[in-house]
Structure 1
Amino acid sequence: MTATPRRTLSDLNACSTDDFVTALANIFEYSPWIAEQAASARPFAGVTQLFEEMKAVVARAPGELRLALIKAHPDLASKTQRAAGLTTESNAEQNSVGLDRLSDAEYEAFERVNNAYRAKFGFPYVVCVRRHSKDSILRDFERRLPNDATTEAAASIEEISRIAALRLDQMVVSDDRLPVHGRLSTHVLDTHGGRPAAGIPVELVELSALGGNRVVTRTLTNEDGRTDQPLIGGRPVPIGAYELRFNVADYFVSRHAAMSDPPFLDSIPLRFSVADPEGHLHVPLLVTPWSYATYRGS
């Protein structure tokens, strides 16, 4: 899949209306009329002002046009719509959360809630999937299904705006940034030796109730006991359940710590949940050969 080329804000301010619309046509799914109307408000001082103008265009639109915007979005995990072809943006977004590789149980769950939602409201369920895991999407489906149509239409427009913000952030280079990124980090402190623990293998796993768990990243702690890069960064941290696994036995052997055979602690799992995709969640490990602790940092 070819990545969409990035454009500078100054270029978008100076280009023709046709070029502006072509560049931003799918920031809002299959709705180039939003970019076309926003073009008249140029020049923009930053990407934040551009995004606010695009949202204002949606807010000013008549109800039937906003409904058409909602209906332009595909059902989640729909094999039929995938075969017919999704926009490049929608395809990448659904793939990022694993909706292209569901277990049979997950596929049946998505098909059930998709059908129930469409039968009640007459339009597709829309959610910013980059902010969610598969499990949290299914929970959100169930949470929103009892709503009335007016409430759901408003919720859909809010989610569409979140999708658009992430697409705009990926496409437009500007001095300012939209607040769409979160961060998940860790560090390991050897409280037995009173030092940061370097060289600890760390694995982050996204947990799933209906399908297989997914390894997000594997890395090692550096001399500061931290990882060179955040475990998740430069994007939202998807809402959901996770497990951090720290392999500590070899570290303490290398430090000649008094150890049992086999080691009392070898691979340490820490389970936690993420609720704020744009927040900073820090999950450290404080460890000795015989004990460990953690806390919620930020």
Structure 2
Amino acid sequence: MGAVSTRAQPEHTRWASTVPERIGPLSTVQNGLQLAWRSVLKIKANPEEVFGLMLQPVMFVTLFVFVFGQAMMGDWQSYRDFLMPGIIAQSVIFATLGTGFSLSQDVEKGIFDRFRSLPIARSAPLTGAILGDLVRYTITVVMVLLVGLLIGFRPEGGVAGVVVAAALVLLFAFALCWMSAFVGMIVRTPMAVQAFGMILMFPLTFSSSAFVSPDDMPGWLRVVAANNPVTHVVDAMRGLMLDTGGVAGSVLWTVVWAAIITAVFFPLAVWAYRRRT
């Protein structure tokens, strides 16, 4: 009878036959890095996105320091030093909403249909998008710091303290990206992703120590703030950047929370991605 020609097979069957049944960890990492580069190139193709990442920190720092500083601590300089780590954390955490938004857009455009036909790990498109977004968050951190330096912020922790603080908030952002990706995969439209994301992120940031000390909050809210993962992130960053010491507990809790959030939402995001695509 002879072998059946692949030319006679349906196109989707030929695609499926090129995809390995199992892809090893090393190949999975390579696939993720390749798609991360694709995500970084999207920044180059959309310079207005970088412009937005630069303007938002300027707006937040200016408004919070000069509008609320006098009322919060009596002088804006003291509030500036207290606020800078919180503003960095808030700016990066809010930026993680872009992960779910972009993924939802890619699904609508049919880009993930092509990814399914490629011999890559199923989690690679999500991992690549998130790793690429970490570049955006790094830009955000740098911009907030530059604005802070321009208005007189001088981190007593030096370069080492700033670098470790930035690494901590980026680690936490990496974990939150999986939550954002999960939302982006289960919500139907990009605009709905933003709406649901704001509902999640606003309480998470504003009920923390980012803008006000928990000691100045009502009793019930003080308990919430003390157990808020963002509080641990901000307290660790504040201790490292201002060199106030006693940050070991906050650093440990930040790492633990990042591990927990990733462990919960990484499989959920991959499951939702497979289900939707």
TM-score where L is the length of structure 2? 0.25
TM-score where L is the length of structure 1? 0.24
* Structure showing greater Rg: 1
More strand by share: 1
